[in-house]
């Protein structure tokens, strides 16, 4: 068995056995309208940290908020 505990930045011991390697995780779907500043922030954050995601365009100006219209 590998190491199931690690120490965080505050010196506390944290249980990590429930965490999966990134290669086993599913790809996150991000539903975004890049005209929206909060959406752009999420997009840029994911890009900067190289978080794998699938971009799904949502046109908020067309009222595409709650699924297919």
Residue 69 is predicted with a pLDDT of 44
The count of residues in the chain is 69
The answer to pTM > 0.85 is: no
Residue 44 is predicted with a pLDDT of 95
Can you say how many angstroms the Cα of residue 50 is from the centroid of all Cα atoms in its chain? 10
User: Which whole-number Å values give the CA distances from 39 to 26, 29, 50, in the listed order?
Assistant: 21, 13, 16
Residue 1 is predicted with a pLDDT of 47
**Digitized pLDDT (tens) for each residue of the chain, 69 residues in all:** 456 655 556 666 766 666 556 555 678 899 999 999 999 999 999 999 988 899 999 988 887 666 554
């Amino acid at each position: 068995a590998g190491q199931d505990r690690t120490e965080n930045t505050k010196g506390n011991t944290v249980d990590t056995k429930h965490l999966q390697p990134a290669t086993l995780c599913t790809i996150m779907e991000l539903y975004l309208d890049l005209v929206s500043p909060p959406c752009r922030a999420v997009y840029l954050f994911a890009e900067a940290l190289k978080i794998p995601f699938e971009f799904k365009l949502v046109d908020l100006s067309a009222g595409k908020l709650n699924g297919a219209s």
